[in-house]
Amino acid sequence: MLNFSKHAKILPLNPPEYTRRVLSRFKVSPQQQIMINASGPTTLPAGWQVSHVDVLGGFVKIGQPATKRNISTLLEFAKDPTDRSALQSMLADDA
């Protein structure tokens, strides 16, 4: 029997080609397992190992344009100088 006293979330389901495009762009394996740590509430699968393809396929909306905050977060973690330059350019274009 379903217990409706708990909240249910309906998660997005991205088209497989969107997920493949992101994985290809960042050169990561779909099967690679990651651990997401969160200090506050999140809709992401925090606290256990999950594959990139699972996170990108069903926990985030890939089709949405990146916000300035999203780009700033990516810039925080980007190590490749070419990627950093591209991200900085995106932030400058929004100014």
* pLDDT tens-digit readout, 63-84: 878 889 999 999 999 999 999 9
3-state SS, one letter per residue, for the chain: CCCCCCCCCCCCCCCHHHHHHHHHHCCCCCCCEEEECCCCCCCCCECCEEEHHHHHHHCCCCCCCCCHHHHHHHHHHCCCHHHHHHHHHHHHHHC
Q: Return the residue matching tokens 């274009």.
A: 93
**Domain range list for the chain:** 10-63, 65-95
pTM value is: 0.59
Please write the tens of the pLDDT for every residue from 33-58. Answer: 999 998 888 888 899 999 999 999 98
